[in-house]
Chains A and B, each alone.
Chain A
Amino acid sequence: MSARIGIVGIGHCRFGNSSEYDLVDVIAYSANDAFRDAGGLHLRKEVDQVLVGNMAAGMFNHQTSVASALVSRMDMEPCPAELVENGPASGASAIRLGYMAIASGMADVVLVAAGEVMRVVSGWEATNIVATMAHTEAEYNMGLTLPGFAGMFTRLYMEKYGMTERDLALVAVKDHDNGAKNIYSHVQLPVTIEAIADGENANVVNNYVAEPLRMYSTCPISDGSAAVILVNMDSPKAKLFAKKPIRIAGIASATDTHCVHNRKDPLVLDAVRLSSEKAYAMAGVGPKDISVAELHDAFVIFELLNSEEVGFFERGKSFLGVRNGETEIGGRIPINTSGGLKAKGHPVGATGVSQVVELVRQLRGEAEEGRQVKDPKYGMAVNFGGFGNNVVTTILAKD
């Protein structure tokens, strides 16, 4: 791929409860933020394409045509605008399609804005809506949910590799420590291992959700949005933006079987491995070159499994790396410096863009004190759609 495509603007709102706000306003907030970061709101008139990442506005908000609404709300007509839906990987898929639009020569500047307002419905309903991405007949109809699959998945991993529930809690402690320092996090409170694993009240504080997964092994239901502005770095328009581009060195996706039980080994996430291999090849780098990673951790077990599939750890060894502090800010490979989905939150359609915003902040050196990785060169984001059946991997480079 010869095109040099970079990110010149980032926007993000604080994740949490925005259920009193209109979904389009929530997404527009981050789009505005991205233009201000890039040099000013007037730059919206330079955009050739708007792509909106959203998973389920039709179900959560009873609203459709979100991309058309955003363009109008932002005074960006007649700019072309489309919605991208790929479950919880909608955001990263929108970035990938934005990259393709520029690489094809059909656009020089693309606004990718993504968001979800989920807390407008009860947790009971939200769990059901998210579960609709499972196979209707063979999974959803059984009553299975994403936490249910993650629970089965975690038990299998524990049986096979000897991981304990305390190891899961250690990941949560690390993620919450990072999230507590992130101004955009839904949960800005650190937790201790005593409170959620070792203490006598830990079973009450950290109750089971889907055994052996507990509350602190599971992401919250969040509202929020994030946005990035992509530019063709070799186009004259690139000079209009104030910020030096952070280059998209590699971006790739892969799919896997819809039914989890139809995978040869249910513990192997082929789509993560394949998409990361393609992204590494495109970027011309390998796992050892990555300085910081945002790995989709809707459930803590995903952070561990993803870190193995992308080559940071051998299979079945990632939890040992967490015990040794290798994934902390000052460790060998800092993972989920934003707090991850676990602490930062998971507004499903926004998450992929939010991960990329965090990488840009890290590569620019703009992360808050205490969670800035020292002199990072390459950042990687893995965004999951479904239960690992449609995955996008992005690698950013600071040139």
Chain B
Amino acid sequence: MIDFSVYGEQTPHISGYKCLKCGMLFYPAPMVCKGCGAHRDPVTGKHWEQFDLEGPCKLLTWTRVWNLPEGFNRKFLMFGMVEFPNGLRASGRVECEGDPVIGATMDATVVEADERPGTPVKVFVFR
């Protein structure tokens, strides 16, 4: 029998966080809510909602980097900063043909990257 439930667990995600006391949204995770001062226990997550941060977003700015850091065996990589419809912003990689356009709608996905030594990390890719 095939257990399809494990497929979901293997898909990489990056989480946004919602304080259930005042409704303020965060990315990345805070330890204290900026809105109401509520504490977030990273073990229990009590009084906080965790949700996947992905999907449509607006490109705020971008760059094409030619001097990549240690571990990146590529000529260049594009990076960008985006804003999601819920107001949260994130930085990550940009993949598209040619130069991206500021203000364009992108689709945020999450992949695992292993350029650097150690455990693979979760990375935003805006397409």
Query: A: which residues have CB within 8 A of B?
Result: 122-125, 127-128, 131, 135, 137-139, 141-145, 147-148, 151-156, 159, 207-213, 259-262, 266
Contacts and interface: CB of A to CB of B under 8 A. Distances in A.
Nearest to B115: A143
A152 B126 CA distance: 15
A152 B61 contact: yes
B68 interface: yes
B28 A143 contact: no
A141 B122 contact: yes
A144 B62 contact: no
A147 B68 CA distance: 9
Interface stretch (B2-10, B35-43, B89-97): B89-97
Given A137-B28, A143-B113, A261-B81, A152 B90 contact: no
Interface residues of B, number: 31
Nearest to A211: B64
A155 B63 contact: yes
The interface residues of chain A, by DSSP majority, are classed as helix
Nearest to A122: B70
A325 to B, nearest CB: 29
B79 A148 contact: yes
Interface string B1-21: 000000000000000000000
Interface of B: 27-28, 60-72, 77, 79-81, 89-93, 102, 113, 115, 121-124
A155 B67 CA distance: 17
A380 B93 CA distance: 37
Contacts of A208: 64, 66
Contacts of A142: 79, 91-93, 123-124
A128 B71 contact: yes
Contacts of B123: 141-143
B57 to A, nearest CB: 11
Given A143-B79, A151-B65, 5 more contacts: A127-B67, A143-B115, A152-B81, A155-B102, A159-B102
Nearest to A157: B61
Given A208-B66, A266-B61, A261 B80 contact: no
Contact of B69 (A131, A207, A211, A259): A131
A148 B94 CA distance: 12
Contacts of A153: 61
A260 B69 contact: no
B109 to A, nearest CB: 13
A124 B71 CA distance: 8
Contact of A143 (B60, B72, B90): B72
Contacts of B122: 141
A156 B77 CA distance: 18
Given A142-B92, A143-B77, A261-B90, A128 B69 contact: yes
Given A139-B91, A142-B124, A159-B102, A152 B28 contact: no
11 contacts: A122-B70, A125-B70, A127-B67, A127-B68, A127-B69, A142-B91, A143-B79, A152-B91, A211-B63, A211-B66, A261-B89
A143 B62 contact: no
Contacts of B124: 142
A31 B70 CA distance: 33
A138 B63 contact: no
A262 B63 CA distance: 18
A145 to B, nearest CB: 5
Contact of A138 (B27, B60, B72): B27
Given A148-B79, A266-B81, A143 B69 contact: yes
A139 B92 CA distance: 7
B91 A128 contact: no
A151 B81 contact: no
B92 to A, nearest CB: 5
Contact of B91 (A123, A131, A154, A260): A260
A145 B79 CA distance: 10
B63 A152 contact: yes
B123 to A, nearest CB: 5
Given A141-B123, A152-B80, A210 B70 contact: no
Contacts of B70: 122, 124-125, 127-128
A124 B60 CA distance: 28
Contacts of B62: 152, 155
